[in-house]
Amino acid sequence: MIVMKFGGTSVGSSDSIEKVKEIILNENRDRIVVLSAFSGVTNLLVTINQQYESNDSTIQETIIQLEERCLAVIDPLLKTTEYLKLAKQFVSIKIDQIKDVIKQPFSLENTKIIIGQGELISTNIVQLYLEEKGINSKLIGALDFMRKDVSGEPDSAYISSKINPILEQETKNIYITQGFICKDYDSSFSNLERGGSDYTASLIGAAIKASEIQIWTDIDGMHNNDPRYVENTFSLEEISFDEAAELAYFGAKILHPQSLIPAKNNNIPVLLKNTFDPYKKGTLIKNNTKTSGVSSIAAKDKITTIKIKSYRMLLAYGFLKRVFEVFEVYKTPIDMITTSEVAVSLTIDNNQFIKEIVEDLQKFGAVEVETNLSIVCVAGDFSEKKEGLSARVFNALKHIPIRMISYGGSNYNISLLVKTADKINALNSLNTALFKKQLSEIDVD
Protein backbone atom coordinates (compact mmCIF):
# COMPACT_ATOMS: atom_id res chain seq x y z
CA MET A 1 0.00 0.00 0.00
CA ILE A 2 1.16 3.57 -0.65
CA VAL A 3 0.16 6.98 0.71
CA MET A 4 -0.68 9.83 -1.70
CA LYS A 5 -1.00 13.28 -0.14
CA PHE A 6 -2.44 16.20 -2.10
CA GLY A 7 -1.93 19.75 -0.79
CA GLY A 8 -4.25 22.77 -0.84
CA THR A 9 -3.64 23.93 -4.41
CA SER A 10 -4.01 20.35 -5.69
CA VAL A 11 -7.58 20.35 -4.36
CA GLY A 12 -8.11 24.09 -4.78
CA SER A 13 -10.49 24.03 -7.76
CA SER A 14 -12.76 21.74 -9.69
CA ASP A 15 -10.11 21.44 -12.44
CA SER A 16 -7.34 20.50 -10.06
CA ILE A 17 -9.54 17.91 -8.29
CA GLU A 18 -10.12 16.31 -11.71
CA LYS A 19 -6.32 16.13 -12.09
CA VAL A 20 -6.07 14.53 -8.65
CA LYS A 21 -8.62 11.92 -9.70
CA GLU A 22 -6.56 11.07 -12.82
CA ILE A 23 -3.40 10.73 -10.72
CA ILE A 24 -5.14 8.47 -8.21
CA LEU A 25 -6.59 6.30 -10.98
CA ASN A 26 -3.23 6.06 -12.76
CA GLU A 27 -1.83 4.29 -9.72
CA ASN A 28 -2.44 0.57 -9.45
CA ARG A 29 -1.15 -0.08 -5.94
CA ASP A 30 -3.64 0.12 -3.05
CA ARG A 31 -3.56 3.67 -1.73
CA ILE A 32 -4.54 5.95 1.11
CA VAL A 33 -5.18 9.44 -0.20
CA VAL A 34 -4.55 12.23 2.34
CA LEU A 35 -6.12 15.58 1.48
CA SER A 36 -5.53 19.13 2.70
CA ALA A 37 -8.25 21.77 2.81
CA PHE A 38 -9.02 23.64 -0.46
CA SER A 39 -6.31 26.32 -0.79
CA GLY A 40 -7.16 29.45 1.18
CA VAL A 41 -9.76 27.71 3.35
CA THR A 42 -7.55 27.16 6.42
CA ASN A 43 -6.48 30.82 6.20
CA LEU A 44 -10.15 31.86 6.18
CA LEU A 45 -10.79 29.61 9.18
CA VAL A 46 -7.83 31.18 11.01
CA THR A 47 -9.34 34.63 10.31
CA ILE A 48 -12.74 33.45 11.55
CA ASN A 49 -11.09 32.23 14.72
CA GLN A 50 -9.28 35.57 15.26
CA GLN A 51 -12.56 37.42 14.77
CA TYR A 52 -14.26 35.03 17.19
CA GLU A 53 -11.56 35.72 19.80
CA SER A 54 -11.78 39.50 19.38
CA ASN A 55 -15.58 39.62 19.09
CA ASP A 56 -15.29 41.18 15.66
CA SER A 57 -18.69 41.52 13.98
CA THR A 58 -17.18 41.16 10.48
CA ILE A 59 -16.93 37.45 11.29
CA GLN A 60 -20.27 36.93 9.51
CA GLU A 61 -18.78 38.28 6.27
CA THR A 62 -15.81 35.93 6.55
CA ILE A 63 -18.17 33.00 7.06
CA ILE A 64 -20.00 33.99 3.88
CA GLN A 65 -16.63 34.15 2.06
CA LEU A 66 -15.84 30.66 3.34
CA GLU A 67 -19.14 29.29 2.07
CA GLU A 68 -18.64 30.97 -1.31
CA ARG A 69 -15.08 29.58 -1.55
CA CYS A 70 -16.41 26.04 -1.02
CA LEU A 71 -19.32 26.49 -3.44
CA ALA A 72 -16.93 27.76 -6.12
CA VAL A 73 -15.22 24.37 -6.02
CA ILE A 74 -18.38 22.28 -5.73
CA ASP A 75 -20.58 23.90 -8.38
CA PRO A 76 -18.49 22.98 -11.43
CA LEU A 77 -17.21 19.72 -9.88
CA LEU A 78 -20.39 17.75 -9.27
CA LYS A 79 -22.41 17.10 -12.38
CA THR A 80 -25.62 15.47 -11.12
CA THR A 81 -28.32 17.30 -9.16
CA GLU A 82 -28.30 14.51 -6.58
CA TYR A 83 -24.57 14.77 -5.76
CA LEU A 84 -24.52 18.55 -6.02
CA LYS A 85 -27.33 18.64 -3.46
CA LEU A 86 -25.46 16.26 -1.13
CA ALA A 87 -22.27 18.34 -1.40
CA LYS A 88 -24.10 21.61 -0.73
CA GLN A 89 -25.90 20.05 2.22
CA PHE A 90 -22.57 18.97 3.67
CA VAL A 91 -21.06 22.44 3.35
CA SER A 92 -24.10 24.02 4.88
CA ILE A 93 -23.95 21.61 7.87
CA LYS A 94 -20.28 22.57 8.41
CA ILE A 95 -21.07 26.29 8.14
CA ASP A 96 -23.89 25.88 10.70
CA GLN A 97 -21.50 24.04 13.03
CA ILE A 98 -19.02 26.92 12.82
CA LYS A 99 -21.84 29.39 13.55
CA ASP A 100 -22.79 27.32 16.62
CA VAL A 101 -19.22 27.14 17.89
CA ILE A 102 -18.70 30.91 17.71
CA LYS A 103 -21.79 31.46 19.86
CA GLN A 104 -19.91 29.74 22.71
CA PRO A 105 -17.31 31.50 24.88
CA PHE A 106 -13.87 31.57 23.23
CA SER A 107 -11.70 28.54 24.03
CA LEU A 108 -8.61 26.85 22.64
CA GLU A 109 -10.56 23.70 21.93
CA ASN A 110 -13.08 25.68 19.85
CA THR A 111 -10.16 27.28 17.98
CA LYS A 112 -8.97 23.83 16.98
CA ILE A 113 -12.46 22.73 15.97
CA ILE A 114 -12.84 25.77 13.70
CA ILE A 115 -9.39 25.49 12.09
CA GLY A 116 -9.85 21.79 11.34
CA GLN A 117 -13.10 22.09 9.35
CA GLY A 118 -11.32 22.64 6.01
CA GLU A 119 -10.02 19.09 5.74
CA LEU A 120 -13.43 17.65 6.75
CA ILE A 121 -15.05 19.63 3.94
CA SER A 122 -12.48 18.81 1.22
CA THR A 123 -12.40 15.06 1.91
CA ASN A 124 -16.18 14.72 2.00
CA ILE A 125 -16.54 16.64 -1.26
CA VAL A 126 -13.83 14.64 -3.03
CA GLN A 127 -15.38 11.38 -1.78
CA LEU A 128 -18.78 12.47 -3.19
CA TYR A 129 -17.10 13.39 -6.48
CA LEU A 130 -15.38 9.98 -6.75
CA GLU A 131 -18.66 8.23 -5.87
CA GLU A 132 -20.48 10.21 -8.52
CA LYS A 133 -17.86 9.02 -11.02
CA GLY A 134 -18.50 5.42 -9.93
CA ILE A 135 -15.05 5.07 -8.30
CA ASN A 136 -15.06 2.65 -5.41
CA SER A 137 -13.28 4.67 -2.73
CA LYS A 138 -13.95 4.82 1.00
CA LEU A 139 -13.69 7.82 3.31
CA ILE A 140 -12.02 7.04 6.64
CA GLY A 141 -12.05 9.69 9.39
CA ALA A 142 -8.60 10.78 10.60
CA LEU A 143 -10.10 11.51 14.01
CA ASP A 144 -10.68 7.75 14.42
CA PHE A 145 -6.95 6.98 14.34
CA MET A 146 -4.73 10.08 14.46
CA ARG A 147 -3.90 11.00 18.06
CA LYS A 148 -1.23 12.82 20.04
CA ASP A 149 0.21 11.56 23.33
CA VAL A 150 0.43 13.43 26.66
CA SER A 151 3.55 15.27 25.55
CA GLY A 152 1.79 16.56 22.42
CA GLU A 153 3.69 14.31 20.01
CA PRO A 154 1.93 12.00 17.54
CA ASP A 155 1.23 8.66 19.24
CA SER A 156 2.64 6.23 16.65
CA ALA A 157 1.66 3.06 18.54
CA TYR A 158 -1.94 4.26 18.89
CA ILE A 159 -2.16 5.35 15.25
CA SER A 160 -0.93 1.97 14.08
CA SER A 161 -3.24 0.05 16.42
CA LYS A 162 -6.27 1.98 15.14
CA ILE A 163 -5.72 2.43 11.42
CA ASN A 164 -4.76 -1.14 10.54
CA PRO A 165 -8.01 -2.71 11.84
CA ILE A 166 -10.00 -0.01 9.98
CA LEU A 167 -8.24 -0.96 6.75
CA GLU A 168 -8.78 -4.66 7.40
CA GLN A 169 -12.55 -4.24 7.93
CA GLU A 170 -13.24 -3.65 4.29
CA THR A 171 -10.77 -4.15 1.49
CA LYS A 172 -10.78 -1.19 -0.84
CA ASN A 173 -8.14 -0.01 -3.27
CA ILE A 174 -8.65 3.66 -2.52
CA TYR A 175 -9.14 5.21 0.91
CA ILE A 176 -9.56 8.95 1.42
CA THR A 177 -8.70 10.69 4.69
CA GLN A 178 -8.03 14.11 6.19
CA GLY A 179 -4.56 15.54 6.63
CA PHE A 180 -3.72 17.96 9.46
CA ILE A 181 -6.45 17.06 11.98
CA CYS A 182 -6.06 14.68 14.89
CA LYS A 183 -7.15 14.23 18.49
CA ASP A 184 -5.24 15.15 21.60
CA TYR A 185 -4.51 12.46 24.19
CA ASP A 186 -7.72 13.50 26.02
CA SER A 187 -9.77 13.00 22.81
CA SER A 188 -10.29 16.70 22.19
CA PHE A 189 -10.06 18.03 18.60
CA SER A 190 -6.52 19.01 17.61
CA ASN A 191 -4.13 19.40 14.69
CA LEU A 192 -0.52 18.88 13.61
CA GLU A 193 0.23 22.60 13.10
CA ARG A 194 0.03 24.54 9.83
CA GLY A 195 1.18 22.54 6.83
CA GLY A 196 0.60 19.38 8.88
CA SER A 197 -1.00 17.25 6.15
CA ASP A 198 2.51 16.20 5.06
CA TYR A 199 3.09 14.96 8.60
CA THR A 200 -0.21 13.03 8.51
CA ALA A 201 0.91 11.31 5.30
CA SER A 202 4.23 10.28 6.81
CA LEU A 203 2.66 9.10 10.09
CA ILE A 204 0.12 6.99 8.18
CA GLY A 205 2.90 5.66 5.95
CA ALA A 206 4.83 4.53 9.01
CA ALA A 207 1.71 3.07 10.70
CA ILE A 208 0.75 0.91 7.72
CA LYS A 209 4.34 0.17 6.67
CA ALA A 210 3.69 1.76 3.28
CA SER A 211 6.08 1.03 0.44
CA GLU A 212 6.09 4.69 -0.64
CA ILE A 213 4.78 8.09 0.46
CA GLN A 214 3.93 10.53 -2.32
CA ILE A 215 3.53 14.25 -1.64
CA TRP A 216 1.71 15.93 -4.55
CA THR A 217 1.95 19.72 -4.64
CA ASP A 218 2.18 22.69 -7.00
CA ILE A 219 5.90 22.37 -7.86
CA ASP A 220 8.02 19.59 -9.35
CA GLY A 221 9.75 18.54 -6.14
CA MET A 222 12.36 20.00 -3.82
CA HIS A 223 14.24 22.81 -5.52
CA ASN A 224 17.84 23.81 -4.95
CA ASN A 225 16.72 27.14 -3.46
CA ASP A 226 13.51 28.88 -2.39
CA PRO A 227 11.57 29.61 -5.62
CA ARG A 228 9.62 32.35 -3.87
CA TYR A 229 12.78 34.48 -3.60
CA VAL A 230 15.21 33.15 -6.19
CA GLU A 231 14.73 32.89 -9.95
CA ASN A 232 15.73 29.89 -12.08
CA THR A 233 15.79 27.34 -9.29
CA PHE A 234 15.73 23.69 -10.37
CA SER A 235 14.29 20.48 -9.04
CA LEU A 236 16.57 17.94 -7.30
CA GLU A 237 16.18 14.38 -8.55
CA GLU A 238 17.24 12.76 -5.32
CA ILE A 239 18.08 13.92 -1.83
CA SER A 240 18.80 12.14 1.45
CA PHE A 241 16.41 12.15 4.39
CA ASP A 242 18.94 14.02 6.51
CA GLU A 243 19.40 16.85 4.03
CA ALA A 244 15.69 17.10 3.23
CA ALA A 245 14.84 17.13 6.95
CA GLU A 246 17.31 20.00 7.57
CA LEU A 247 15.79 21.93 4.66
CA ALA A 248 12.21 21.32 5.80
CA TYR A 249 13.10 22.37 9.33
CA PHE A 250 14.93 25.46 8.12
CA GLY A 251 12.17 26.83 5.93
CA ALA A 252 11.68 24.81 2.72
CA LYS A 253 7.90 25.24 2.80
CA ILE A 254 7.32 22.29 0.49
CA LEU A 255 7.51 19.97 3.52
CA HIS A 256 6.23 20.31 7.08
CA PRO A 257 9.32 20.48 9.36
CA GLN A 258 8.75 17.17 11.14
CA SER A 259 7.13 15.27 8.32
CA LEU A 260 10.15 13.23 7.28
CA ILE A 261 10.86 11.71 10.69
CA PRO A 262 8.32 8.81 10.56
CA ALA A 263 9.27 8.03 6.94
CA LYS A 264 13.00 8.06 7.68
CA ASN A 265 12.62 5.93 10.82
CA ASN A 266 10.77 3.32 8.79
CA ASN A 267 12.94 3.69 5.70
CA ILE A 268 9.97 4.56 3.47
CA PRO A 269 10.95 6.57 0.37
CA VAL A 270 9.16 9.90 -0.05
CA LEU A 271 8.43 11.11 -3.57
CA LEU A 272 7.61 14.79 -4.14
CA LYS A 273 5.53 15.32 -7.31
CA ASN A 274 3.75 18.08 -9.17
CA THR A 275 -0.03 17.60 -9.56
CA PHE A 276 -0.01 20.05 -12.49
CA ASP A 277 2.87 18.35 -14.30
CA PRO A 278 2.66 14.70 -13.19
CA TYR A 279 5.09 13.38 -15.80
CA LYS A 280 7.99 15.44 -14.40
CA LYS A 281 10.27 13.28 -12.29
CA GLY A 282 9.94 15.20 -9.03
CA THR A 283 12.25 14.50 -6.09
CA LEU A 284 12.92 11.19 -4.41
CA ILE A 285 13.89 11.39 -0.74
CA LYS A 286 15.49 8.25 0.65
CA ASN A 287 18.36 6.88 2.70
CA ASN A 288 21.83 6.46 1.23
CA THR A 289 21.74 8.90 -1.63
CA LYS A 290 25.05 10.04 -3.03
CA THR A 291 25.22 13.79 -2.63
CA SER A 292 28.22 15.74 -3.68
CA GLY A 293 28.61 19.40 -2.93
CA VAL A 294 25.70 21.62 -1.96
CA SER A 295 22.25 20.24 -2.68
CA SER A 296 19.94 23.02 -1.59
CA ILE A 297 19.43 26.24 0.35
CA ALA A 298 16.51 27.29 2.54
CA ALA A 299 15.71 30.08 4.98
CA LYS A 300 13.61 30.32 8.10
CA ASP A 301 12.25 33.67 9.31
CA LYS A 302 11.03 35.10 12.63
CA ILE A 303 14.18 34.10 14.45
CA THR A 304 15.19 35.74 17.72
CA THR A 305 18.64 35.53 19.34
CA ILE A 306 19.26 35.59 23.05
CA LYS A 307 22.81 36.31 24.24
CA ILE A 308 23.75 35.65 27.86
CA LYS A 309 27.04 37.16 29.01
CA SER A 310 28.32 35.85 32.27
CA TYR A 311 31.74 35.66 33.91
CA ARG A 312 30.31 32.81 35.96
CA MET A 313 30.58 30.76 32.79
CA LEU A 314 34.36 31.10 32.81
CA LEU A 315 35.83 27.71 33.71
CA ALA A 316 32.49 26.63 35.22
CA TYR A 317 30.73 23.39 34.48
CA GLY A 318 26.94 22.96 34.64
CA PHE A 319 26.36 26.53 33.39
CA LEU A 320 24.90 25.53 30.02
CA LYS A 321 22.71 22.94 31.72
CA ARG A 322 21.11 25.67 33.83
CA VAL A 323 20.60 27.85 30.75
CA PHE A 324 18.97 25.00 28.82
CA GLU A 325 16.71 24.20 31.76
CA VAL A 326 15.11 27.64 31.40
CA PHE A 327 14.13 26.81 27.80
CA GLU A 328 12.88 23.40 28.90
CA VAL A 329 10.58 24.97 31.51
CA TYR A 330 8.99 27.14 28.81
CA LYS A 331 8.93 24.30 26.23
CA THR A 332 10.82 26.53 23.78
CA PRO A 333 13.11 24.70 21.35
CA ILE A 334 16.53 26.13 20.55
CA ASP A 335 17.65 26.11 16.89
CA MET A 336 21.25 27.37 16.84
CA ILE A 337 23.80 27.81 19.58
CA THR A 338 27.32 29.23 19.80
CA THR A 339 29.45 29.76 22.86
CA SER A 340 32.53 31.72 23.82
CA GLU A 341 34.29 31.54 27.18
CA VAL A 342 32.07 34.22 28.69
CA ALA A 343 28.93 34.26 26.55
CA VAL A 344 26.41 31.98 24.96
CA SER A 345 24.13 32.97 22.06
CA LEU A 346 21.18 30.92 20.98
CA THR A 347 18.24 31.28 18.65
CA ILE A 348 14.57 30.47 19.04
CA ASP A 349 11.65 30.69 16.61
CA ASN A 350 8.86 30.92 19.15
CA ASN A 351 8.63 34.13 21.18
CA GLN A 352 5.59 33.16 23.22
CA PHE A 353 7.53 33.06 26.51
CA ILE A 354 10.39 35.41 25.65
CA LYS A 355 9.64 37.77 28.56
CA GLU A 356 9.68 34.96 31.11
CA ILE A 357 12.78 33.36 29.56
CA VAL A 358 14.73 36.64 29.65
CA GLU A 359 13.70 37.26 33.28
CA ASP A 360 14.92 33.80 34.29
CA LEU A 361 18.18 34.11 32.33
CA GLN A 362 18.99 37.48 33.91
CA LYS A 363 19.81 35.54 37.08
CA PHE A 364 22.93 34.28 35.27
CA GLY A 365 24.18 37.51 33.69
CA ALA A 366 23.44 40.27 31.18
CA VAL A 367 20.92 39.25 28.52
CA GLU A 368 20.57 40.79 25.05
CA VAL A 369 17.73 40.02 22.64
CA GLU A 370 17.66 40.66 18.89
CA THR A 371 14.67 40.00 16.63
CA ASN A 372 13.87 40.02 12.88
CA LEU A 373 16.55 37.51 11.98
CA SER A 374 16.58 34.60 9.53
CA ILE A 375 18.51 31.36 9.50
CA VAL A 376 19.90 30.48 6.08
CA CYS A 377 20.54 26.76 5.83
CA VAL A 378 22.93 25.39 3.21
CA ALA A 379 22.44 21.63 2.92
CA GLY A 380 24.89 19.29 1.25
CA ASP A 381 27.91 17.14 1.87
CA PHE A 382 30.12 19.11 4.26
CA SER A 383 32.13 16.10 5.35
CA GLU A 384 35.87 16.54 5.87
CA LYS A 385 36.59 15.26 2.35
CA LYS A 386 34.91 18.31 0.85
CA GLU A 387 37.51 20.93 1.59
CA GLY A 388 36.85 24.36 0.12
CA LEU A 389 33.07 24.09 0.15
CA SER A 390 32.54 26.13 3.30
CA ALA A 391 34.99 28.76 1.99
CA ARG A 392 32.75 29.16 -1.07
CA VAL A 393 29.73 29.62 1.20
CA PHE A 394 31.41 32.33 3.24
CA ASN A 395 32.90 34.00 0.19
CA ALA A 396 29.44 34.27 -1.37
CA LEU A 397 28.26 36.13 1.72
CA LYS A 398 31.23 38.44 2.17
CA HIS A 399 29.05 41.54 1.64
CA ILE A 400 26.37 40.44 4.15
CA PRO A 401 26.87 40.70 7.93
CA ILE A 402 26.61 37.22 9.44
CA ARG A 403 25.31 37.24 13.00
CA MET A 404 25.97 33.62 13.93
CA ILE A 405 27.27 30.41 12.34
CA SER A 406 26.55 26.76 13.06
CA TYR A 407 28.88 24.30 11.41
CA GLY A 408 29.97 20.80 12.30
CA GLY A 409 26.82 19.74 14.18
CA SER A 410 26.13 17.42 11.28
CA ASN A 411 27.92 16.73 8.02
CA TYR A 412 24.89 17.88 6.10
CA ASN A 413 24.60 21.59 6.66
CA ILE A 414 25.94 24.99 7.52
CA SER A 415 23.45 27.37 9.13
CA LEU A 416 24.05 31.10 9.06
CA LEU A 417 22.09 33.77 10.85
CA VAL A 418 21.44 37.02 8.99
CA LYS A 419 19.08 39.97 9.39
CA THR A 420 15.79 39.16 7.64
CA ALA A 421 16.31 42.28 5.54
CA ASP A 422 19.43 40.57 4.08
CA LYS A 423 17.82 37.17 3.51
CA ILE A 424 16.82 37.47 -0.15
CA ASN A 425 20.23 38.90 -0.99
CA ALA A 426 21.91 36.01 0.86
CA LEU A 427 19.81 33.36 -0.92
CA ASN A 428 20.56 34.86 -4.33
CA SER A 429 24.28 35.34 -3.68
CA LEU A 430 24.61 31.75 -2.52
CA ASN A 431 22.67 30.58 -5.56
CA THR A 432 25.04 32.30 -7.94
CA ALA A 433 28.15 31.14 -6.12
CA LEU A 434 27.16 27.53 -5.49
CA PHE A 435 24.98 26.50 -8.43
CA LYS A 436 26.41 28.35 -11.39
CA LYS A 437 27.54 25.12 -13.02
CA GLN A 438 24.27 23.27 -12.57
CA LEU A 439 22.29 26.27 -13.79
CA SER A 440 24.20 26.41 -17.04
CA GLU A 441 23.45 22.72 -17.58
CA ILE A 442 19.66 22.97 -17.26
CA ASP A 443 17.09 24.34 -19.61
CA VAL A 444 15.84 27.56 -18.14
CA ASP A 445 12.73 28.62 -20.00
Q: Which residues bind Mg ion (CB under 5 A)?
A: 7, 195
Would you give the distance in Å from CA 260 to the centre of its chain? 10
Decide: is 42 part of the binding site for ligand ASP (CB under 6 A).
Answer: yes
Closest CA to 211 of 257, 161, 267, 133: 267
| Residue 365 binding target from Mg ion, ligand ASP, ligand ADP, none, CB below 5 to 8 Å by type | none
At closest approach, how far in Å is the CB of 65 from ligand ADP? 19
| Residue 180 binding target from ligand ADP, ligand ASP, Mg ion, none, CB below 5 to 8 Å by type | ligand ASP
Taking the C-alpha atoms of residue 148 and residue 179, their distance in angstroms, rounded to an integer, is 14
At closest approach, how far in Å is the CB of 299 from ligand ADP? 9
CB atoms within 10 A of CB 378: 29
Q: Do the Cβ atoms of 430 and 297 come closer than 8 Å? A: yes
Closest CA to 406 of 386, 379, 366: 379
Site string for ligand ADP, 201-220 (x = CB under 6 A): ----------------xxx-
Decide: is 228 part of the binding site for ligand ADP (CB under 6 A).
Answer: yes
Cβ closer to ligand ASP: 123 or 295?
123
Decide: is 196 part of the binding site for ligand ADP (CB under 6 A).
Answer: no
At closest approach, how far in Å is the CB of 23 from ligand ASP? 17
Under rule CB under 6 A, how many of the chain's residues touch ligand ADP? 19
Interacting residues of 431 by C-beta distance below 8 A, sequence separation 6+: 224, 225, 230, 233, 297
Interacting residues of 39 by C-beta distance below 8 A, sequence separation 6+: 7, 8, 9, 11, 12
Q: Do the Cβ atoms of 127 and 40 come closer than 8 Å? A: no
Residue from 254, 306, 373, 396 touching ligand ADP (CB under 6 A): that is 254
Taking the C-alpha atoms of residue 64 and residue 72, their distance in angstroms, rounded to an integer, is 12
Subset of residues 265 to 284 that bind ligand ADP, contact rule: CB under 6 A = none
Q: Which residues of the chain form contacts with ligand ADP (CB under 6 A)?
A: 7-10, 36, 195, 217-219, 222-223, 226-228, 252-254, 296, 298
Q: Which residues of the chain form contacts with ligand ASP (CB under 6 A)?
A: 7-8, 36-37, 42, 118, 179-180, 194-197
